[in-house]
Structure 1
């Protein structure tokens, strides 16, 4: 019998917010599933739309 990863759901959304970390303002991108659980996150100093999109694609896979 082989073990397989079973996808329960691939419905994710990307949340973006601006937060202060150790006195420095940063963008926080979170991949959130349909239940509101954080799947993964990305913290950057500058807004990076392309990085955020590739981050979301990696979070799905």
Structure 2
């Protein structure tokens, strides 16, 4: 099942906004401005809904990637 089916915006735009919010702590309004500068008009409340819906799944899938590097070498 595609979680992006029926969405008004493209998958890449949604993932980009969620990633930047989670990784850099940018506010929803700042993200709204950044997207507008790139020609994508989206309301900050829409970005909020994207984060609520997609961030938990993104975190689950990328948890291994975001691990602390010291966890990878237990002999140090």
Task: Report the TM-score, using the length of structure 1 for normalisation.
Answer: 0.30
The structure where strand makes up a greater share of residues is 1
Structure having the larger proportion of residues in helix: 2
Larger radius of gyration: 2
